[in-house]
Amino acid sequence: MSEPAISVRGLSKRYRLGTISRHTLADEVTYLYHKLRKRNVAEHMGKISLAGVPDVTDPHRHDSHDFWALQDVTFDVQPGEIIGIVGGNGAGKSTLLKILSRITEPTEGEAFITGRVGSLLEVGTGFHPELTGRENIFMNGTIMGMRVADIRRRFDEIVAFSEIGQFLDTPVKRYSSGMFVRLAFAVAAHLDPEVLIVDEVLAVGDAAFQKKCLGKMGDVVRQGRTILFVSHNMAAVENLCTHALWLEHGRVRMLGETSEVVEHYLGSSQITQQEDSIRNRKDRQGTGRARIVDFYVTDEAGKRQNVLRPGNRYHFTLECELNVNTLSLQNVVASVALTDLRNETVWLAHSKFTHEYQTLMPGVNRLTCTVNDFSVAEGVYNATLSLGQGEVEPLDLITNAAEINIEGGNFFGTGSKGSPTLCKTLTRASWSLTT
Amino acid sequence: MQITHIKARQPWWIINWRELVDNRDLFWLTVQRDLTAIYKQSVLGPLWFVLQPVLTTVVFTVVFGNFAKISTDGLPPFLFYMSGLVLWNYFQGVLNGAASSLMSNAGILRKVYFPRLLPPLTSVVTYLGHFLINFLVFLGFFAFFFFKGSAIHPSWWILLLPVLIFHCACVGLGAGLWLSAMTIKYRDVSFALPFLTQLWMYATPVIYPASEVSAKWKWVIAVNPMAGVIEVNRFAFLGSGSPDRVILIVSFLVGIGLLISGVFVFNRAQRTFVDTI
């Protein structure tokens, strides 16, 4: 095996909470004064040792205000590997990238990176509003570590990629935010490092441009670069990365094949379990003229179910409340959507698809959707509920209103569960052979 | 293949000079940007480079020369003030530029790494650009007064000018790096900075000749590394004052010392400064 492109050994980073940036000269002077006085006092009192007594005036003391953002992180990345770094907020992902980009120094440990390093923690770093797009390409490129000669050589490519065109010689302060981001990413995409460190920069720009960026990243991947990629977008991690590193509370929880790590990570992550009942949920969108107050699933016998089995028949019921002092509400449509843990919608039942428009009466109404042959594969899902008046007025929308567990069942009649990691929906099909 | 070694607690004396050289393109682009972007969108544009030193000199001439009637050693007041200001402004530019370099670039330095010594170093060259323009303006007025027959006596000391400029850069950069490192820990420093530079100017013979300083305060001139050079510059071009060789050499040594210590103090402070700002 060749030498690793990135080798991280026992990396730790400590932050001091509370005391950060609160130092003023006055604090220090007070501290010195107290220290000197204390010593005098101690001397007068016959040299009583103050050791062991916490000195509250000492701003350099070690105490519980220390926060370890990273603790003893060790891993290797082989050349050509693309490592996705996953983990919840505060897991230490950004800190790790900052240290590897040399923006800050570790408290303990060391790391070796072989090859030129390019780090992309932000797009457009160092853009100067007064300078033109052209000038900023050079400025930004050199800040990222490119040589002017390299930028000149790839200038046309960068401009073409950015789609800036005629605005090349306009000061960037007159750019729309979309143009700004496109130009910034265009420069970043043409960095030619052997090791690339990327933070969530893909979460910018419009959808079309994001797709282009992902495509560009894919090209970079095929060129055999080593990439360290932090993202909350699991789909992007799974598409791009060969391996994944899962950080939790500053420690390495798991390192391995992307699909395996992502699966474990998602499985462990606390699903947004709502304490509140649906009636008390505050995170709603819509006008609220009618409100969803309850949601449940029942089987054919009318019994409420928390775990659903594919292949069975179910009734999804939304209880909706309309103010008793109002008139009835016509043309009401409702929907139930199931999203997987990657937040992608895998199943959607909408009454407008079937042109079923209901009239809600003042008081409580029950809207029931019947599904004959439930065809979602095993897993944990979230139900998102919506209520609207035709296409005109969104009445109520609750994202992740309830958790739906799906397991078991005999959808295919063969005992097969399909391939839930590959495809979340189940389809019965028959096969024939012609020769 | 280039290998980057990241390590906890790097000793303060380790400075990657090679890296500075590798970033020379960024260095020159920053200089270029700072010189061109500064007066963009102003009506007079680059004319400000000329106007600023002239206007400051006019104000000094009126306030200190006409109202306060501070002696100018018999020299034309306008030329007297300008000869002091031309070097002082360079020094002050470098000092302020270097002192604020970490703070004013914090947004960038939080997101990307390049040698942190680079921004302070660029101010040395950027303000050299300002200086050259100021100096040309000064030469213009100098020629005017010279041919008008004013009592000015340039001497061979003029040849020392590059050394004087270099010295101003050393002191400005050295002190600026010290202040920049301190600003990270004590925000107070950045508030005190304008006051400090002003105080420093009054402790330097910019608006008065060193000969006017009473014996009681002579030591201030002696310890101030900027005093000697301002006086020498004035003597070189205008022929008044008496350059003290000992003070001059001490100044040079102080300047070099300030620069070397400043570089290391700054280097120590920059490594984790993003954690505290």
Closest-CA residue to A181 (of A122, A231, A123): A123
Residues A264, A337, single domain; the answer is: no
Report how far residue B126's alpha carbon sits from residue A107's, in angstroms, rounded to the nearest whole number: 36
Question: Would you tell me how many other CB atoms lie within 10 Å of the CB of residue A217?
Answer: 22
Query: Looking at the structure, do residues A140 and A286 belong to the same domain, yes or no?
Result: no
Q: How far apart are CA B37 and CA B40, in angstroms?
A: 5
In this prediction, residue A208 carries a pLDDT of: 67
Same domain (yes/no): A248, A292: no
- In chain A, the residue whose alpha carbon lies closest to the alpha carbon of B1 is A115
Residue A223 in any domain: the answer is yes
DSSP string, B4-60: EEEESS--TT---HHHHHHTHHHHHHHHHHHHHHTTTT-SSTTHHHHHHHHHHHHHH
The secondary structure element, H or E, covering residue A29 is: helix A25-44
Residue A183 resides in a domain: yes
CA atoms B108, B114, B117, B121: torsion sign: negative
Is A317 found in the same domain as A203? no
> Is A345 within a domain?
yes
Q: Does A139 touch chain B (CB under 8 A)?
A: yes
Q: B8: Cβ–Cβ under 8 A, 6 or more apart, which residues?
A: A12, A105, A106, A107, A108, A109, A110
Check whether residue A374 and residue A396 sit in a common domain.
yes
Average confidence score pLDDT of chain B: 89
Which residues 233-252 in chain A show a CB within 8 A of chain B? none
A20 vs B26, B40, B276: nearest CB: B276
Q: Terminal CA-to-CA distance of chain A, rounded, Å?
A: 47
Q: Is A247 found in the same domain as A116? A: yes
Alpha helices in A190-329 (DSSP H): 207-222, 234-240, 258-268
The pLDDT of residue B85:
92
CA A110 to chain CA centroid, Å, is: 28
Does one domain contain both A80 and A221? yes
Intervals of chain A under pLDDT 70: 1, 17-32, 35-65, 200-211, 214, 217, 221, 269-276
Q: Could A101 and B112 be called an inter-chain contact, meaning their C-beta atoms sit closer than 8 Å?
A: yes
Confirm or reject contact between B43 and chain A (CB < 8 A). Answer: no
Chain B residues whose CB is inside 8 A of the A148 CB are 25, 29
Whole-angstrom Cα distance, residue A51 to residue A105? 31
Measured between CA atoms, how close is A2 to chain B, in angstroms?
A: 13
The pLDDT tens digits along chain B (277 residues) read 788 889 888 888 888 888 899 899 999 999 998 888 777 767 777 888 888 889 999 998 998 888 888 888 788 888 999 999 999 999 999 999 999 988 888 888 888 899 999 999 999 999 999 999 999 999 999 999 989 888 888 888 999 999 999 999 999 999 999 999 998 888 888 889 999 999 999 999 888 888 888 888 888 888 899 998 998 999 999 888 777 788 888 899 999 999 999 999 999 988 888 887 7
Number of domains in chain A: 2
Query: Does A117 map to a domain?
Result: yes
Q: Which of B16, B32, B111, B188 to mutate to test binding with chain A, by most A CBs within 10 Å of its CB?
A: B111
| Digit-coded pLDDT (tens) for A71-97 | 999 999 998 888 999 887 778 888 999
CATH of the domain at A226: 3.40.50.300
Rounded to the nearest 5 degrees, what angle is found at the Cα of B122, between the Cα atoms of B105 and B84? 115
Token look-up 């100018």 returns B72
Instruction: Report d(CA A132, CA A392) in Å as an integer.
Output: 44
Instruction: From A221, A244, A268, give the residue that closes a domain.
Output: A268
Considering the domain architecture, whether residues A209 and A298 belong to the same structural domain is answered as no
Q: CA of A149: which chain B residue's CA is closest?
A: B25
Residue of B nearest to A114 (CA): B3
Cβ neighbors of B57 (< 8 A, separation 6 or more) are B78, B81, B82, B85
The Cα–Cα gap between A174 and A172 comes to 5
Q: Which member of A104, A128, A194 has the closest CB to residue B33?
A: A128
> Which of A217, A238, A268 delimits the end of a domain?
A268
**Is B1 in contact with A108 (Cβ distance < 8 A)?**
no
Residue-wise pLDDT tens digits, B27-80 = 999 999 888 877 776 777 788 888 888 999 999 899 888 888 888 878 888 899
Of A21, A26, A135, the CB nearest to B277: A21
Domain range holding A172?
68-268
Q: Does A364 contact B at CB distance below 8 Å?
A: no
Q: List all residues of chain B from 160 to 179 with a beta carbon under 8 Å from chain A.
A: none
Do A258 and A288 belong to one domain? no
Tokens 């996953």 map to which residue? A86
Give the tens place of pLDDT for each residue, A171-199. 988 988 778 888 888 888 788 788 888 88
The alpha helices in chain B, defined as continuous H runs, are 17-22, 24-37, 47-60, 77-99, 101-104, 106-109, 118-148, 161-185, 188-202, 218-223, 227-238, 245-270, 273-276
Q: Does a structural domain hold residue A10? A: no
- Is A388 found in the same domain as A242? no
Does A28 fall in a domain? no
Q: Are A170 and A147 in contact (CB under 8 A)?
A: no
Asked if A344 and A324 sit in the same domain, the reply is: yes
Same domain, residue pair A93 and A228: yes
Tell me if B8 and A108 make a contact (CB, 8 A cut-off).
yes
- Residue A370 within a domain: yes
A13 domain-assigned = no
Residues in chain B: 277
Look up the ipTM and state it. Answer: 0.83
Distance CA A132, CA A174 (A): 9
- B3, B23, B186 member nearest A114 (Cβ): B3
Ramachandran assignment for A385, one of left (phi > 0), alpha (psi -120 to 50 degrees), beta (any other) = beta
CA distance B273 to A425: 51
Longest dimension (CA), chain B: 67
Burial class from Cβ neighbours inside 10 Å (0-12, 13-18, 19+) for residue B110 reads middle
